[in-house]
Structure 1
Amino acid sequence: MPKILRISTVPSSLNILLKGQLKFLNRYFEITAVSGSGIDLKEVQKREDVNIHVIEMQRQISPFKDLVSLIKLYTYFRKVKPELIHSITPKAGLLSMLAGKLAGVPVRIHTFTGLVFPYKTGIMQKLLIIMDRILCYCATDIFPEGKGVMNDLIKFNITDKPLKIIANGNVNGIDLDFFDPDVISYSEKQTLKTALSIKEDDFVFLFVGRLVRDKGINELVRAFNQLNSEVDNIKLLLVGPFEEELDPILTETKRSIEENSNIISVGFQKDVRPYFAISDIFVFPSYREGFPNVVLQSLAMNVPAIVTDISGSNEIINKHINGMIVDVKNELQLLEAMCEIYKNPAFLEKLIKNSRISVQKFGNKLVWEEIKELYMKKLNNY
């Protein structure tokens, strides 16, 4: 069978973003997952039943370490002679596409799951643009995860190669059998509510993701606090880890989370479905995304969403159909949307009815089949 390498900078990207996909593809190709070391890579090996290979790569720009990673990738490609390599995440994309071209790998695919440079300025933006242009030059095929990502690649003249979105967008699609509201029983929901001190008549706003500045946590907490000053039977449920090093939230935001008894922070949770199941509305005020899995998960669990007008989110949410859209960093609009959802049960019920049905076109099996056909076509053509 043809040898195919799936490559990411850190193993959590393979573990979380490509769940189930590698196992499916391994029926037709010899798949090896390549990334830095970590327990996530072992989990990928066990769950997906694929080979793994460790090559450490830095997420941040690190010239010496990046050169070492490039040499290791080149050496590995020359040794195993894969017919196709497919990368996700920025640094893995740059290094593997360059190493793949130098090593003579016939098919070199990169999927852009999000872009950083549109949100940077000055020298850093120029440097990131140059890096992505090198990546695209070295790749044989470029696949943006959604329309917003594709438009930015065109707008900033990153590549003149044809750009195609796989299926209807998203790197892996949504597992509609797993993210199904019916799998969480009433007793499970009641037990979790009791454990979190959520009363039966409480209205629950939910956020799932890293608790960092770029996810809009500062605006979300301030908007919630303002609404909470007017009404008491509301809760803000935060599911995800704090990141103090890369993109920390404001000190006063963290203090509010710790001191407000109506804000419940539960940290990272491996299974987020029970938290969706006890929530009324999902709030995702992120500054930038590629094509956010978590919004798909929310809708699949029949929980409408308030999102910001950014790539991916605005491709999933239809305003006033399955959620609401507000401007990035606009705390007032966010507060108004939260108020409208809270005070208008009939409107919320309409959104709920449209939520799960709106993500049927993003089913993961559709994405997997299209990737399989793409690989076969590319391998037959080289």
Structure 2
Amino acid sequence: MPKKLIRITTIPLSLEKLLEGQLSYMNQYYQVTAVSAEKERLERYGKDNGVNTFWVEMTRAITPLMDAKAVWKLYNYFKKEEPLIVHTHTPKAGIVGMLAAKLAGVPLRLHTVAGLPLMETTGNKRKLLDFVEKLTYKLATRVYPNSRGLEEIILKEGFAEEEKLKVLGKGSSNGIDTSYFDPSNFSEEDKINIRQELNIPENDLVFIFIGRLVSEKGIDELVAAFKRLQERKLELSLLLVGPFEEELDPISEESKEIIENHPKIFTTGYQADVRPYLAVSNVLAFPSYREGFPNVVMQAGAMGLASIVSDINGCNEIIVEGKNGMIIPVKDEGALFNAMELIAQNEDYRIRLASNSREEICKYYERKEFWQILLKEYKSLEQEYIKS
């Protein structure tokens, strides 16, 4: 009977996107259970991926009473199931899962850090989030920052000791399937048809952003920079692929109005498959304030796009300045405008960056290689536990 591995994320979307395919792969070696909120979506994920599921109500907001109930429910579940490994992702799943696993005596308690939302908060809320982050790491037996830069931040902030931290491979939480994200999957006719469906002019240079349309992703700066650039009558479009979020971190009313009314800004809402939109685009514009190890930048690279990214961990590890993209300071609308202008007006430079993009991703971030690295880590920890 294979040993039990429980993987926890706050919402099923993280299982679907951030860990796509990974749990099914691990199910060949362990009896895998996916734990998350949103019962119906979670059960659908389990059915589609051939893994067990267990539903626990969780939110990304600060909800102490609900979180306590989640810890109690998970504690009882772990006591019954006796898993060898509990591996959590995302901040809320991390604290809830690690606390329940520690109380239940789970031997291997692993937590992946794919970003630190607390870096954009201040005051008492920041103090609370710092405490929760430190506690999560203290409860874990091993912590996996998904980039070198994130590891440096964790050490600098004093969240954990160096010996508890480990970056797997070159970074990332899941690598990327480069046969799936491959520009050759789309013919010229496909691209023409997709542009026509989106009403994007056939000859426009397209900047694309993929992700939540929120302030901390740099959407306000991106919209303002694009508006200025487009006023020069260049043949440009901006394609925004992702949902608006009004609750936690909304963009400015001014940006929202520009997006709604600008004839050259196109939105698609959330899309399960982003490849068609990357296929008809030329440059990824990703001026995020913070990331772990962004899948979007890997996906764009695999699809042969040049990228403009902010100088933050993850982004500045995937992109090499002047080789496969450009790196700009965080929250700097002027620098973003200059980079967009340079890449829009210098086709030879853009093509050179784009020509290197796919090769870099294939070389360092192939998904199945990452899965093998993670499996090797599990087996190594398992052997250490058995010996002890």
TM-score (norm 2): 0.96
Correspondence for 1:8: 9
Does the residue aligned with 2:171 lie in a helix, a strand or coil?
A: coil
- Give, in angstroms, the shift of residue 293 of structure 1: 0.3
**Over residues 237-292 of structure 1, what are the superposed CA-to-partner deviations in whole Å (9 max), with x where a residue is unaligned?**
11111111111111111111111111111111111111111111110011111110
From 305, 308, 320, give the equivalent of 1:306: 308
Distance 2:213 2:3 in 1: 41
The equivalent residue for 1:293 is 295
- Going from structure 1 to structure 2, the CA distance change for 1:72 and 1:358 (only over 3 Å counts) comes to same
- Name the structure 1 match of 2:265: 263
Q: Which amino acid aligns with 2:360?
A: S
User: For the residues of structure 1 that align with 2:140 and 2:256, how far apart are their CA atoms?
Assistant: 42
Once residues 306 and 54 of structure 2 are traced to their aligned partners in structure 1, the CA distance between those partners, rounded to angstroms, is 39
1:128 match: 129
Matches within 5 A, 1:196-345: 196-345=198-347
Q: CA deviation at 1:46?
A: 2.5
Partner in structure 1 of residue 120 of structure 2: 119
Query: Runs of at least 4 residues of structure 1 off by over 3 A?
Result: none
Query: How is 1:100-111 mapped onto 2 (pairs within 5 angstroms)?
Result: 100-111=101-112
Q: Map 1:76-87; keep pairs closer than 5 Å.
A: 76-87=77-88
1:157-168 aligned within 5 A: 157-160=158-161, 161-168=163-170
Note the residue ranges of structure 1 that are not aligned, 5 or more in a row. none
Is 1:365 the counterpart of 2:368? The answer is yes
Q: CA deviation at 1:320?
A: 0.8
3-state SS of 1:245 partner: coil
Equivalent residue number for residue 152 of structure 1: 153
SS in 2 for 1:267: coil
User: 1:378 and 2:376 equivalent?
Assistant: no
Amino acid at match of 1:17: L
CA apart distance, 1:168: 1.0
Give distance in 2, aligned partners of 1:219 and 1:153: 27
How far the C-alpha of 1:201 sits from its partner, in A, is: 1.8
SS in structure 1 at match of 2:164: coil
Is the Cα–Cα contact under 8 Å of residues 83 and 106 in structure 1 kept in the other structure? yes
- The one-letter code matched in structure 2 to 1:377 is S
Letter in 1 for 2:238: L
How much has 1:366 moved relative to structure 2?
Answer: 1.1
Q: Secondary structure at the residue paired with 2:152?
A: helix
Cα pair 1:109 1:139 within 8 Å, conserved: yes
- Alpha-carbon distance between aligned partners in 2 of 1:43 and 1:338, rounded to the nearest angstrom: 41
What's the secondary structure of 1:246's corresponding residue? Answer: coil
Inter-partner Cα distance in structure 2 for 1:37 and 1:349: 43
Q: Deviations over 1:329-362 (max 9, x none)?
A: 1001000000000100110111011100011211
Q: 1:163 Cα deviation (Å)?
A: 1.3
Contact 2:284 2:307 in 1 (8 A): yes
* 2:69 aligned with 1:50: no
Closer, same or farther in 2 for the Cα pair 1:119/1:246, shift >3 Å? Answer: closer
Distance 1:30 1:362 in 2: 26
How far apart, in 2, do the equivalents of 1:162 and 1:134 lie?
13
Distance 2:276 2:137 in 1: 40
Q: Provide, for residues 204-256 of structure 1, a one-character-per-residue CA deviation record: whole Å limited to 9, x for no partner.
A: 11111111111111110110110111124111111111111111111111111
Please state how far the C-alpha of 1:16 moved relative to its aligned partner. 1.0
Determine the structure 2 residue equivalent to 1:192: 194
Aligned residues: 382
Query: C-alpha root-mean-square deviation of aligned residues, in Å?
Result: 1.1
Q: Distance in 2 between matches of 1:37 and 1:242?
A: 19
Deviation at 1:38, TM superposition (A): 4.1
Give, in angstroms, the shift of residue 107 of structure 1. Answer: 0.5
TM-fit CA distance, 1:39: 4.3
Name the TM-score, length of structure 1 as normaliser. 0.98
Q: Distance in 2 between matches of 1:302 and 1:129?
A: 38
Selected match of 1:174 from 171, 176, 181: 176
The amino acid of 2:324's aligned partner reads N
Percent same amino acid among aligned pairs? 44
Partners of 1:118 and 1:246 in 2: how far apart?
15
Q: Distance in 1 between matches of 2:220 and 2:268?
A: 17
Partner AA of 1:380 in structure 2: Q
Task: Note if contact 1:214-1:288 (Cα within 8 Å) is conserved in structure 2.
Answer: yes
Q: CA separation in 1, counterparts of 2:128 and 2:260?
A: 39
**Secondary structure at 1:6's aligned position in 2?**
strand
SS in 1 for 2:268: strand
Distance 2:265 2:183 in 1: 24
CA contact (8 A) 2:141 2:164 kept: no
CA shift at 1:50, angstroms?
0.5
Residue 15 of structure 1 contacts residue 41 of structure 1 at CA under 8 Å; is this kept in 2? no
- Does the CA contact (< 8 Å) of 1:15 and 1:40 recur in 2? no
Query: Counterpart of 1:25?
Result: 26
**Letter in structure 1 aligned against 2:85:** L
How far apart, CA to CA, are the structure 2 residues paired with 1:330 and 1:372?
40
Question: Deviation string for 1:119-173 (max 9, x for gaps)?
Answer: 2222222211111111111111111110111011100111114311011111000
Q: Secondary structure at the match of 1:223?
A: helix
Q: Which amino acid aligns with 1:215?
A: K
SS in 1 for 2:209: strand
